[in-house]
């Protein structure tokens, strides 16, 4: 064995003891309470050079899966000290997964708020947490759980949600994150959580989310997020945006490769047209999804809304042509803003969205350019707000639709009761997104 191969093998040792049977989708490795040692090479900092180094030298998902049978995978490159939890500890933290602690649900399963007590884990301070619980009947499974641990276990950036730890015990797969007090961008835009998001807050959120994608795309081992949408953008107490849910993330092309071929997976309305047609995934696929979200931020309307007239149901098809025309800007902008935004900044943001939504990937900007175009808009203020006529027909329709959404949400509220993770009831209150997997002829695996 050469010195180089010996060194490579040494670097990879550790993941087997960390996950054990979890790498193969079974076993009770989590019950052994094996804890990854902290990296001495890269700190767990919140971004900057340390974060870039962590991403640049990380192990890819392909590295992990290709050597899983040998259990020769590196913990030293994780980049942070992930904590291993038991099911019992997370039940205690969430009060038995109480309905009153229910935060929401996605393709992987329900999410609950919890609290870690002081000294419950060595090196982990008392803090609120969010616990994502795998639903065996959900759209995602063990592979997505493992992807989340591998990516977020190594990646650290101010605009990515921090993964605190995980649980792999018997059939249970749970993930533990920092708690994001303001919830998702989706809830604030479409469910009218008070207060209504101001123009400056919306623009700050767009810039923060864009910076998260820049960090992923520009790493030495690039990452394609693949599921960029408003429900995956979480907000901290200051409304700072952080990307969450890396279950569908993919390692990007390297070297001379131009794309990654994969199954078409995602959420209806956000995926780039060329990805749907060919299964070819690139960073420009994420750019298209960003354009969809930016249009949602501008308009206050969902990417797909089946409750609207047929010609208005698909937001990009309905509004994209208006984005380049300043005379039609008022048709695009969210009536809930009541004209309280900079027309100059809004028009420039609309142009960014228009370019991101180009049908040709080559004509879309990269995310670095998006940040360069959007960030200066934070400093633009017009002397007078946009002219606004209260209670015009569009505003009446919007307010009626939002009131109906709120009434549906209230009707879905349930009385709190304790239950175990095995008996989780699938609930998707107010969920309008359609998660899909499109199997194409002769397609490679995800």
Q: Are 365 and 306 in contact (CB under 8 A)?
A: no
**Residues taking part in catalysis:** 227
Q: Are 150 and 194 in contact (CB under 8 A)?
A: no
Q: Are 90 and 131 in contact (CB under 8 A)?
A: yes
Q: Are 133 and 167 in contact (CB under 8 A)?
A: no
Q: What H or E segment, with its residue span, contains residue 400?
A: helix 393-411
Copy the structure tokens of residue 40. Answer: 């001495």
Burial of 306 (0-12, 13-18, 19+ CB in 10 A): exposed
Residue 178 three-state SS: strand
From 23, 173, 161, 156, select the one nearest 86 (Cα to Cα).
173
Nearest-5° angle of CA 255, CA 66, CA 215? 45
Copy the structure tokens of residue 249. Answer: 């993330």
CB atoms within 10 A of CB 141: 17
Query: In residues, how long is the chain?
Result: 446
Phi, psi of 10 (to 5 degrees): -65, -40
């Amino acid at each position: 064995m050469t010195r180089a191969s010996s060194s490579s093998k040494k670097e990879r040792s550790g993941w087997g003891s960390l996950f054990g049977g979890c790498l193969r989708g079974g076993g009770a490795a989590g019950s052994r309470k094996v804890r990854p040692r902290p990296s001495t090479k890269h700190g767990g900092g919140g971004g900057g050079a340390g974060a870039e180094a962590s991403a640049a030298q990380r192990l890819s998902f392909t590295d992990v899966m290709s050597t899983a049978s040998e259990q020769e995978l590196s913990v030293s490159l994780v980049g942070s000290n992930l904590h291993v939890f038991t099911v019992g500890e997370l039940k205690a933290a969430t009060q038995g997964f109480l309905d009153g602690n229910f935060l929401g649900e996605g393709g992987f399963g329900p999410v609950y708020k919890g609290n870690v007590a002081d000294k419950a884990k060595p090196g982990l301070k008392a803090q609120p947490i969010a616990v994502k619980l795998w639903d065996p009947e959900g759209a995602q499974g063990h592979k997505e759980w493992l992807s989340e641990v591998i990516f977020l276990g190594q990646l650290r950036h101010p605009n990515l949600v921090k993964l605190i730890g995980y649980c792999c015990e018997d059939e249970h797969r749970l993930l533990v994150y920092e708690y994001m007090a303001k919830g998702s961008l989706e809830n604030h835009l479409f469910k009218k959580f008070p207060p209504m998001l101001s123009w400056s807050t919306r623009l700050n959120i767009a810039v923060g989310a864009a910076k998260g994608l820049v960090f992923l795309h520009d790493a030495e081992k690039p990452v394609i997020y693949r599921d960029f949408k408003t429900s995956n953008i979480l907000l901290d107490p200051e409304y700072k945006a952080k990307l969450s849910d890396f279950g569908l993330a993919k390692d990007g092309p390297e070297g001379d490769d131009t794309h990654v071929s994969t199954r078409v997976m995602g959420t209806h309305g956000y995926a780039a047209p060329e990805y749907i047609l060919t299964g070819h995934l690139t960073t420009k696929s994420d750019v298209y999804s960003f354009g969809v979200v930016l249009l949602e931020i501008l308009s206050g309307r969902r990417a797909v809304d089946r409750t609207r007239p047929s010609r208005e149901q698909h937001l990009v098809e309905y509004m994209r042509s208006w984005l380049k025309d300043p005379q039609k800007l008022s048709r695009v902008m969210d009536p809930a803003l009541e004209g309280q935004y900079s027309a100059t900044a809004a028009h420039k943001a609309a142009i960014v969205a228009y370019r991101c939504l180009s049908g040709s990937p080559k004509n879309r900007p990269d995310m670095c350019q998006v940040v360069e175009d959007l960030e200066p808009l934070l400093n633009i203020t017009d002397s007078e707000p946009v002219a606004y006529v209260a209670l015009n027909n569009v505003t009446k329709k919007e307010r009626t639709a939002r009131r109906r959404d709120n009434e549906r949400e209230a009707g879905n509220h349930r009385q709190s009761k304790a239950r175990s993770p095995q008996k989780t009831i699938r609930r998707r209150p107010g969920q309008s997104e359609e998660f899909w997997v499109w199997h194409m002829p002769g397609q490679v695996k995800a």
